[in-house]
Amino acid sequence: MTDIDVRLREEVHLLGELLGTTIRDQHGAAFLDKIELIRKGAKAGRRGAADGTEQLSASLDGLSEDELLPVARAFNQFLNLANIAEQYHRVRRRSPGEAEPFENHVLPQLLQRLIAQGHSADALARQVGRLEIELVLTAHPTEVARRTLIQKYDAIAAELARQDHSDLSAAEREQITQRLQRLIAEAWHTEEIRRVRPTPVDEAKWGFAVIEHSLWQALPAVLRKADQALHAVTGLHLPLEAAPIRFASWMGGDRDGNPNVTAAVTREVLLLARWMAADLYLRDVDHLAADLSMQQASAELQALAGDSAEPYRQVLKSLRERLRATRQWAQQALHTPLEPSAAVLQNNQELLAPLQACYHSLHACGMGVIAEGALLDCLRRAATFGLFLVRLDVRQDATRHAAALSEITEYLGLGRYADWDEARRLSFLQAELDSRRPLLPSHFKPAADTAEVLATCREVAAAPAASLGSYVISMAGAASDVLAVQLLLKEAGLQRPMRVVPLFETLADLDNAGPVIERLLELPGYRARLHGPQEVMIGYSDSAKDAGTTAAAWAQYRAQETLVEVCRAHQVELLLFHGRGGTVGRGGGPAHAAILSQPPGSVAGRFRTTEQGEMIRFKFGLPDIAEQNLNLYLAAVLEATLLPPPAPEPAWRTLMDRLADDGVQAYRAVVREHPQFVEYFRQATPEQELGRLPLGSRPAKRREGGVESLRAIPWIFAWTQTRLMLPAWLGWETALSNALARGEGEQLAQMCAQWPFFRTRIDMLEMVLAKADAQIAEQYDERLVEPALQPLGAHLRGLLSQAVTCVLGLTGQSQLLAHNRETLESISVRNTYLDPLHLLQAELLARSRQQSSPAGSALEQALLVSVAGIAAGLRNTG
């Protein structure tokens, strides 16, 4: 055990002790003893002691009705506190001589390596300055913690940082402990579960809060260190206007299957972003006006300031007045349509220009050391976040556009658009896009769904271009899907280019992505409307749900390769947008490894990806953690651009084709073809109950029906709760077993060693198998599943065991994650607190289904708390 582990364990122990004190104060010593008995039973059970498992079961069985909720809350809170300690542990102060985390030095080391390999200083500096990385924050409903609790957890992390000094006095340490005790008590006495679902506007405010409390501090710190690293190896600096990392959002723009996201909601979110941006810049400018009291200035700045003895303050005060006018207008416009006055900032250059004038004047007058402080940070923020904070994407399903156009064509007496073949659709759409007349008369009165589609397009047309990102089309499958949106936007009055992005999600659509884009690029007039790169979104969640991760991963890889070739042949730049989730089953995993495993040429200085649900908090919730993750993105995209991975050998492709074919057949044989599967899924997992959990604003289902109607997130979430983790590995066990039986083990090992794509897939598979637990899954079956369906559960656990055997054989290890003791230890520590929650959840599910407990009852609250606790313990849940 290293000193690092000791420090982490000490912090976890301290937080656990303080939580115990809080629980004892409310429920008494006898109840706390029960909690400890349950914990010890779980720990002994994990070590293989039969009496420990019996003690755990007996302790849980002996709980009275009024003890169920506080027991669930106790283990849930402990897992959240363990997360805080582990998160802080990654960014804690290092002792002299102690190695820095990989994330802190990954970029400087990469830059040194690139120079050593012959990249010129000028070219390298230009490439870093031109990087375009956009992280798209989404409100997918896997963030189970309430915002009020997240704020308390952040405050606990801050106290851990304060105590991380060896020279604190005894009194100072005691003060920190007391503050920790109060914060933990506040968290304990706060409800974990929201009473009502958040609205899309609530979700957007949550996203803005992540920027305000973390990314606003982290972004300039990352760029400052990147600039220092770049200067150290090239002698050059990042340009002031460089914004290698930007942020976009789906919160308030993603209406795919979410009737709660309306045109009015999108308008409100855009205005709230304007308000928040102005408010944040006002805080910066207030501080700068206080600091920049100098008198000496360049002629250019003096001309801006007029006859002022304090020219910097004068210029900044003028900017402050415009920011106030902008904030006030955005506030008023939320309630009534209001044209902005001349004082309202409309263009980002209006924000940047006075700041740049101050910066250049300070340098010109020998005060560069002052310019490189808070003023530079403000400039970096202005270049990155702009006046609109984040660029809002709009997303809608292709069928909604087709339905709207069907109503329009029928009204015009042209027939039904939805019934036309692709050639006729394209002919109609191209003619209308080229036409100078409106498509619709002003008196056209559409049905509600069509009216909403048209209203959304009008909001897009009315919004400033810089406030919007892309218009994403879910379930796109043809060139006409893109032109349909372009026509609807034209009809709404859009007179500027906007990226209209097809999202290819199913296995068939991924295979067809290249031909669709080729058809688009060949259409007369399409290239003229493009104005920039051709953006294409690759769907990870639904492709994995459709075909399993074996076939989906290979289809995603091949689709990207084809798209690179198509766009290169047409001399069009390509921007790939990766729709990843938090879990392996939804394309998740370590970002650095994932980027470096993309096909060569697919990351050409540009990278766009979703950051979803609870992963936003884990990766960007604290400034120091956010810095580390932003460093990883910078380094990985730069490396993938300048040192792309090798293309796979022909033999590897052939084997990967066989793996994918075997994987999809095995996956669909269970999920789609087994007659008992849907009923087993609903009995063995909390899928039905998850629909009652007020996580996000979006419904859990797109429509009524079986597994195919479920969104990818609850599909993954349900299996994660029972620890079977089925969607992340099902299909691999058959694919790998068949390959080994054919004598292809040596080739698989070669692919692992030499092909980053395959190695990353196996690494992620190993991670999810380490978190899976057949014994836990079996206990759910025993309590919840009728006897006739239990053999299916046993069969699935057998497949899980087969997957583990294959991966161990491939990696040559005797234990999963044997090469990563830190992660293994983290999972092991959490299991002691997860095991009681799993057993308790199975019991609560059984009681809930027998009693039909009403909403808001103690039983339902305990059940929902158990869901939240397991999600916290396993981290990437959805």
DSSP readout, 410-458? HHTTS--GGGS-HHHHHHHHHHHHH-SS-SS-TT----HHHHHHHHHHH
Q: Are residues 369 and 450 in the same domain?
A: no
Closest CA to 566 of 464, 479, 456, 637: 479
Checking if the pLDDT of 801 tops 60, the result is: yes
Kindly tell me the burial class for residue 41, based on how many C-beta atoms sit within 10 Å of its own C-beta (0-12, 13-18, 19 or more): buried
- Out of 95-104, 265-274, 374-383, 807-816, least confident range: 95-104
Residues 406 and 367 both lie in one domain: no
More confident residue, 192 or 780: 780
Mean pLDDT of 105-114: 95
Query: Contact 540/581 with Cβ under 8 angstroms?
Result: yes
pLDDT digits (tens, 9 = 90+) for 517-570: 999 999 999 998 998 899 999 998 788 888 999 999 999 999 999 999 999 999
Question: Per mean pLDDT, which range of 105-119, 223-237, 354-368, 684-698 is the poorest?
Answer: 684-698
pLDDT at 293: 96
For residue 493, the 8-state DSSP code is T
In a domain, 245, yes or no: no
Half-sphere exposure of 730 (CA within 13 A, CB side): 24
What per-residue confidence (pLDDT) applies to 689? 82
Residues 273 and 411 reside in one and the same domain = no
The encoded tokens of residue 540 equal 């990870």
Dihedral sign, Cα of residue 255, residue 260, residue 266, residue 271:
negative
Dihedral (Cα; 341, 342, 347, 349), 10-degree rounding: -150
What pLDDT does 588 receive?
41
Instruction: List the CATH number of the domain containing 329.
Output: 1.20.1440.90
Residue 581 has pLDDT above 70, yes or no: no
Looking at the structure, tell me whether residues 545 and 665 fall in a common domain. Answer: no
89, pLDDT greater than 90: no
pLDDT score for 587: 41
Encoded tokens for 101: 């985390």
Residue reference for tokens 């879910």: 474
How many domains does the structure of the chain reveal? 3
Q: Within a domain: residue 87?
A: no
The residue-averaged pLDDT of 188-213 equals 87
Alpha carbon distance 339, 326 (integer Å): 11
Residue 874: count of CB within 10 angstroms of its CB: 18
- Mean per-residue pLDDT for 248-269? 94
Separation CA 355–CA 289 (nearest Å): 11
Residue 626 identity: A
Does residue 312 share a domain with residue 354? yes
**What is the rounded average pLDDT of the residues 587-610?**
85
What's the rounded mean pLDDT across residues 215-243?
A: 97
At 289-337, the pLDDT tens digits run 999 999 999 999 999 999 899 999 999 999 999 999 999 999 999 999 9
Query: Of 64-68, 398-402, 692-696, where does the model show the most confidence?
Result: 398-402
pLDDT for residue 737 is more than 90: yes
361: domain range? 268-388
Across 133-141, average pLDDT: 83
> Can you give 729-754 as a three-state secondary structure string?
HCCHHHHHHHHHHCCCHHHHHHHHHH
Let me know: does 221 contact 623? Beta carbons within 8 Å.
yes
Contacts with 585 (C-beta within 8 Å, 6 or more apart), sequence order: 544, 545, 549, 712, 716, 719, 725, 727, 728, 768
User: Are 277 and 386 within 8 A, CB to CB?
Assistant: yes
At 475 the three-state DSSP class reads coil
Is 720 inside any structural domain? Answer: yes
- Of 692, 718, 695, 715, nearest to 705 (Cα)? 715
**Could you tell me the CATH number of the domain that includes residue 556?**
3.20.20
pLDDT at residue 406 above 80? yes
Residue from 381, 743, 742, 756 nearest 593 by CA: 756
Domain edge (last residue) among 326, 360, 388: 388
Q: What is the DSSP letter of 645?
A: P
Tell me which residue of 360, 206, 220, 349 sits closest to 284, measured CA to CA: 220
- Relative orientation angle of helices 448-462 and 398-411, to the nearest 10 degrees: 110
* Stretch among 136-145, 192-201, 449-458, 541-550 having the lowest mean pLDDT: 136-145
User: Are 481 and 360 in the same domain?
Assistant: no
Q: Most distant CA pair in the chain: distance in Å?
A: 89
pLDDT at 699 over 70: no
Residues 868 and 777 in one domain: yes
Identify the pLDDT of residue 713.
65
Residue 392: which H helix or E strand, with range?
strand 391-397
**pTM for the whole thing?**
0.92
Same domain, 430 and 296: no
Q: Is 581 helix (H, G, I), strand (E, B) or coil?
A: coil
- The first and second tokens of residue 873, run together, are 């313990």
* Residue reference for tokens 């952040």: 154
853 lies in some domain: yes
- Nearest residue to 476 via CA among 552, 542, 377: 542
Q: For residue 185, is pLDDT > 60?
A: yes
Partners of 138 in the beta sheet? 612
**Distances, alpha carbon 678 to alpha carbons 668, 671, 730, 792, in Å:** 12, 8, 15, 11
691 and 806 in a single domain? The answer is yes
Say yes or no: 752 and 870 in one domain. yes
Q: What is the mean pLDDT of residues 631-641?
A: 95
In the chain, the percentage of residues whose pLDDT exceeds 70 is 93
Q: Are residues 490 and 513 in the same domain?
A: yes
Which amino acid is residue 478, in one-letter code? Answer: A
* Residue 319 pLDDT: 98
Q: Which residue has the higher pLDDT, 194 or 705?
A: 194
pLDDT at 711 over 60: no
Active site residues: 140, 545
Residue 12 has pLDDT above 90, yes or no: no
Task: Please give the mean pLDDT across all residues of the chain.
Answer: 90
What does the pLDDT read at residue 142? 44
- Among the candidates 388, 413, 430, a domain finishes at 388
Q: Is the pLDDT of residue 583 over 50?
A: no
> Using 50, 70 and 90 to split pLDDT, how confident is the model at 54?
confident
Average pLDDT of span 742-770: 95
pLDDT category, 194, cuts 50, 70, 90? Answer: confident
Which amino acid appears at position 187 of this protein?
Answer: A
Question: From CA 268, how far away is CA 264, in angstroms rounded?
Answer: 6
For the beta carbon of residue 743, count every other beta carbon within 10 angstroms: 8
Residues in the chain: 878
Residue 369 forms part of a structural domain: yes
Gyration radius (Cα) of the chain, Å: 28
Asked, for residue 681, whether it belongs to a domain, the answer is yes
Tell how many helices (H) and how many strands (E) occur in the chain. Answer: 39, 8
In a domain, 557, yes or no: yes
**Secondary structure, 3-state, 77-124:** HHHHHHHHHHHHHHHCCCCCCCCCCHHHHHHHHHHHHHHHCCCCHHHH
Buried b (16+ CB within 10 A) or exposed e, 115-144: eeeebeeeebbebbbebbbbbbbbbbbbbb
Pinpoint the alpha helices (H) of 292-416: 299-305, 311-333, 348-364, 368-370, 376-385, 398-411
Is the separation of the CB atoms in 290 and 480 below 8 Å? no
With respect to residue 634, please indicate whether it lies within any of the assigned structural domains: no
* pLDDT at residue 198, rounded to an integer: 82
Q: Which residues contact 390 (CB under 8 A, 6 or more apart)?
A: 137, 207, 211, 247, 248, 249, 273
Are 563 and 421 in a shared domain?
yes
Final residue of a structural domain among 538, 568, 589: 589
